[in-house]
């Protein structure tokens, strides 16, 4: 069996570009250049049939280390809890008050972008503290 070389994380959403640009801000990701032959993504989008326009958007780690994120338009609203979510690792290696301060600082940065603060889960004997959040379309993620 050949080893997996890359992973893409796909989000169902109603406004792919808006959600992608939110995650660019959260993760420091970038929008890749438009396809060959197009000066801008808008030019590319206008070249598509109407039903495919604004149907998807991409962002990626500028270093190439993290997974590519793909955002696809779906007609339905988010209804239930995500079965998969992203952990945004802002407190790696930190414990106690120092970790809580890092989580709170990142939360304070993300809320003005449209994120919604959720429940702060304090450290216990098995896990370190983390902060539940929601993105601009209600998808759960954790500050970890």
C-alpha to C-alpha distance for 43 and 38, rounded to whole angstroms = 6
Q: Is the pLDDT of residue 123 over 70?
A: yes
Q: Is the pLDDT of residue 11 over 70?
A: yes
pLDDT cut 90: percent of the chain above it: 79
Q: Please tell me the predicted confidence (pLDDT) of residue 122.
A: 93
Q: Is the pLDDT of residue 62 over 80?
A: yes
Q: Is the pLDDT of residue 111 over 90?
A: yes
């Amino acid at each position: 069996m050949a080893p997996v070389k890359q992973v893409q994380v796909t989000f169902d959403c109603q406004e792919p570009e808006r959600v992608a640009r939110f995650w660019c801000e959260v993760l420091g990701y970038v929008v890749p250049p438009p396809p060959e032959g197009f000066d801008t993504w808008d030019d590319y989008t206008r070249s598509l049939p109407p039903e495919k326009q604004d149907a998807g958007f991409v962002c990626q780690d500028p270093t190439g280390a993290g997974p590519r994120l793909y955002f696809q338009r779906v007609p339905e609203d988010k209804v239930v809890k995500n079965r998969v979510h992203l952990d945004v690792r802002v407190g790696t290696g930190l414990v106690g008050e120092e970790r809580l301060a890092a989580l709170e600082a990142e939360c304070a940065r993300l809320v003005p972008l449209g994120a919604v603060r959720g429940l702060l889960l304090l450290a216990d004997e098995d896990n370190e503290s983390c902060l539940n959040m929601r993105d601009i379309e209600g998808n759960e993620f954790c500050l970890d």
